[in-house]
């Protein structure tokens, strides 16, 4: 047990260090913890003139409303579906890309292709939405021009519920697969040369070395990234959907985040919107904790 006296001494000794943390601490208290206190409005009938504290309590009414609304199930389903599609089609993309790049021996080509595939990561989803015009427009978009040369009807991708989710999945792969490859490239660079040399002596070809050496060696990275991705399954891409969707595709494209935004800020139903958000936050939090305990078991390293 430390005496009060020695505690004081410690405080004096470390006073500059504590002073340094202070601004960051104030920041998280104001902008991260204070909003957590604000969650109470999901149990209230928030009225602007009464404010957070004086608005009347309504218990779980907002949550009851939530579970009774068909819109919520639609939004929840969209979120899961979009995420699952992105995982199925999008998760392998950076791994394959990294393996292909890793096999390139020409330094200039390698650097060039890396720079090119990182490029889309650096633009905003709004810009992507703009680029899509030139690509997918039914009038003069390059994709529809190709469709037209085959004598088919042009497709209005951005406004068609049939294709909108595919647009989300493909644009996500186009934008982030290159960036996602960085981590696997780093893992591949760490694979010992001796393993490859031994495999060459065994008379394997390049393809066999990828399957029997490269992939098993980066498997821990793949598993950790997969768990991380699964734990973020409720994040279907707020910025992306927000930039690309329109009222014609709400039925397939509206996700929890965009719903929270519209109900909250456009319709100003603060209490209900916060309840939807809280529902998401709690599930997301539990998923992250589960994913972390799995990661701990698989690799020595844990996410936190």
- Segment 54 to 73, residues that bind another protein, using CB under 8 A: none
HSE-CB of 151 using CA atoms within 13 angstroms: 0
- State the minimum distance, in angstroms, from the CB of residue 211 to another protein: 12
226 vs 238: CA distance, rounded Å: 20
- State the minimum distance, in angstroms, from the CB of residue 146 to another protein: 12
Which residues, numbered 248-287, are part of the site for another protein (CB under 8 A)? Answer: 257, 260-261, 264-265, 270, 273-274, 277-278, 280-281, 284-285
Q: Is 20 in the site for another protein (CB under 8 A)?
A: yes
Whole-angstrom CA distances from 238 to 118, 164, 246, 269 are: 21, 15, 14, 19
Q: Is 243 in the site for another protein (CB under 8 A)?
A: yes
Q: Which residues pair with 303 in a beta bridge?
A: none
Residue that has been written with the tokens 């008379």 in this structure? 203
138-167 footprint of another protein as x/- string (CB under 8 A): --x-x----------------x--------
Which residues, numbered 111-130, are part of the site for another protein (CB under 8 A)? Answer: 112-120, 122-127, 129-130
Q: Is 214 in the site for another protein (CB under 8 A)?
A: no
- State the minimum distance, in angstroms, from the CB of residue 276 to another protein: 8
Instruction: Give the nearer residue to another protein in terms of CB position, either 85 or 238.
Output: 238
Instruction: Give the nearer residue to another protein in terms of CB position, either 84 or 116.
Output: 116
Token pair listed for 63: 């949550």
291 vs 109: CA distance, rounded Å: 38
HEC string of 50-89?
A: CHHHHCCECCCHHHHHHHHCHHHHHHHHHHHHHHHHHHHH
- State the minimum distance, in angstroms, from the CB of residue 200 to another protein: 7
Instruction: Give the nearer residue to another protein in terms of CB position, either 21 or 84.
Output: 21
Query: Which of 3, 4, 12, 16 forms a contact with another protein (CB under 8 A)?
Result: 16
Q: Which residues pair with 57 in a beta bridge?
A: 44
- State the minimum distance, in angstroms, from the CB of residue 279 to another protein: 10
135 vs 145: CA distance, rounded Å: 9
Query: Which of 97, 98, 188, 236 forms a contact with another protein (CB under 8 A)?
Result: 97
Report residue 83: phi and psi, to 5°: -65, -45
């Amino acid at each position: 047990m430390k005496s009060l006296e020695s505690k004081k001494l410690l405080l004096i000794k470390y006073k500059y260090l504590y002073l340094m943390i202070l601004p960051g601490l104030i920041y998280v208290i104001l902008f991260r913890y204070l909003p957590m206190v604000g969650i109470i409005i999901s149990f209230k009938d928030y009225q602007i003139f009464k404010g957070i504290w004086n608005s009347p309590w309504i218990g779980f009414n907002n949550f009851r409303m939530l579970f009774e609304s068909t819109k919520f199930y639609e939004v929840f389903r969209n979120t899961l579906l979009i995420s699952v599609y992105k995982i199925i089609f999008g998760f392998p993309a950076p791994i394959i890309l990294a393996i292909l790049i890793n096999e390139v021996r020409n330094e200039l080509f390698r650097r060039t292709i890396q720079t090119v595939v990182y490029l889309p990561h650096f633009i905003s989803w709004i810009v992507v939405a703009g680029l899509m015009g030139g690509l997918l427009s039914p009038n003069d978009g390059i994709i529809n021009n190709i469709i037209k040369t085959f004598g088919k009807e042009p497709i209005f991708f951005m406004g068609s519920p049939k294709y909108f989710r595919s647009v989300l999945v493909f644009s996500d792969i186009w934008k982030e697969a290159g960036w996602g490859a960085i981590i696997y490239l780093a893992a591949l660079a760490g694979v010992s040369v001796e393993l490859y040399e031994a495999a060459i002596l065994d008379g394997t070809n390049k393809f066999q070395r990828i399957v029997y050496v490269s992939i098993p060696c980066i498997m821990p990275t793949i598993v950790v990234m997969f768990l991380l991705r699964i734990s973020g399954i409720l994040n279907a891409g707020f910025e992306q959907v927000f930039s690309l969707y329109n009222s014609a595709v709400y039925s397939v494209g509206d996700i929890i985040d965009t719903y929270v935004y519209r109900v909250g800020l456009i319709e100003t139903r603060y209490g209900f919107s916060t309840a939807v958000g809280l529902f998401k936050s709690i599930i997301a939090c539990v998923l992250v904790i589960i994913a972390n305990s799995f990661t701990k078991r698989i690799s020595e390293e844990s996410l936190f």
